[in-house]
Amino acid sequence: MVKLSFIVPVYNVAQYLRKCVESLIKQDFSDYEIILVDDGSTDESPQICDEFASSKELSSERISELGKPIIRVIHQPNAGLSAARNAGLKMAKGEYVCFVDSDDYWEENVLGTLMFQIESQQLDVLRFNYQNVRLKNEGVRELESEGNYEVFRPNKDPKRNVDYSDVVTDGETFLNERLGPSCYAVMFVIKRSLIMNELESERVSELGNSIEDRRLKIEDCLFKEGIYFEDVEWTPRMLMRAKRVASTPMVVYNYLWRAGSITLPSDPVKRKKVIEDKILILRGFKEQSMTMTDSKWFTWMTCTTTMSVLSALTTLSAGERTNYIQELKSLHVFPLSTIRARRKNKIKIWLANINPSLYCKLMRLRH
């Protein structure tokens, strides 16, 4: 058992992978491991993973005298980000887990401060701050040096409704008052038992005594596989299980802003999957909100997600739009709430509430 497990899904990121892993090694804390999950990469990523794991300094089954972490590797056929994270969770030995995307990187020597806050406040979950970075010469395909990255602010800043208070609260209050739209799994340190609960001792004998047998029965808070926007679906489920949650405003994570967003792919098949996955998430919001005394966050995110779906529907034929709008209506998402909506968006929401089909037609004409 170690204190923390970093779980790093890896897929065709040879250009960025070394920087990511090296940033995790350069920490002021020793009791942790790094699990690299190669998800069927076809570039040099698998070899880079094995190179880190086979290093004499890093491959020991115990932490070295230099304070370097254990690095372990999983190689599996391509199954997507959720499946890679789940595979890492099942291998993890840490009391806490933290997810890292393999094209991003951490600030150096920040883990000690995070773990001190977790232990002093006895937290189930700690959310930390991040910054967006991009490559100065994005077209250059070579291993990136520190000088090739620059911090920048995107046009749409999802942190405007985020509260980084270090005051401890329960997960439901955190969800409603402090999360904002930033449902990024990579921005949290999480107690593994929130995701992989150990079974009660009297039931262990029924299922077998090994840790593997017990883990196979408790996948109720793993990532949903095969969907886009898995973080948005997973984050509220995780937080609702937490009793002690806090944040730190300290910038820990560097999120690499790259071209190729899945927000609305040009491929028509993928575009429909984006729409259908967002509707699936809306269905989950409805189910989860029914268990809460205060469903403010779900009300807000239902509006945001539904408006996103309607915008995507403008690219489809009238018949296809009608079918999806009927599905939205069956979920009773209308009328949408204007909670936290900016003034310029309230008119759009008002029009969508009156007639979502008309709204889609007008948006199609506008674009």
pLDDT given at position 12: 97
- Are 217 and 358 contained in the same domain? no
pLDDT tens digit string along 43-102?
999 999 999 998 755 544 434 444 678 999 999 999 999 999 999 999 999 999 999 999
C-alpha neighbours within 13 Å on the C-beta side of residue 89: 25
**Most distant CA pair in the chain, distance:** 67
Look up the domain containing 23 and give its range. 2-256
The one-letter code for the residue type at 27 is Q
pLDDT given at position 153: 80
- Does residue 88 form part of some domain? yes
- Are 238 and 315 contained in the same domain? no
Structure tokens at 277: 């996955």
pLDDT given at position 267: 84
- Does residue 262 form part of some domain? no
The Cα angle at residue 239 between residues 191 and 302, in degrees rounded to 5: 155
pLDDT given at position 355: 97
- Does residue 263 form part of some domain? no
- Are 276 and 244 contained in the same domain? no
pLDDT tens digit string along 204-225?
444 444 544 444 444 468 999 9
- Are 207 and 288 contained in the same domain? no
Which CATH number goes with the domain that contains 122? Answer: 3.90.550.10
- Are 160 and 203 contained in the same domain? yes
- Does residue 261 form part of some domain? no
pLDDT given at position 365: 87
pLDDT given at position 259: 64
pLDDT given at position 266: 76
The closest alpha carbon to 183, from 99, 74, 309, belongs to 99
pLDDT given at position 179: 92
Going from the C-alpha of 255 to that of each of 8, 62, 129, 149, 296, the distances in angstroms are 14, 30, 11, 11, 28
- Does residue 232 form part of some domain? yes
Secondary-structure breakdown of the chain: helix, strand, coil percentages, each rounded to the nearest 5: 45, 15, 40
Contacts of 146 (CB under 8 A, 6+ apart): none
CA dihedral 328, 332, 337, 341 (to 10 degrees): -20
- Does residue 44 form part of some domain? yes
- Does residue 57 form part of some domain? yes
- Are 316 and 238 contained in the same domain? no
Choosing from 221, 256, 291, the residue where a domain stops is: 256
Q: What pTM was computed for the model?
A: 0.88
- Are 129 and 7 contained in the same domain? yes
* Regions of the chain where pLDDT drops below 50: 59-66, 140-145, 199-209, 211-219
- Are 273 and 252 contained in the same domain? no
- Are 49 and 165 contained in the same domain? yes
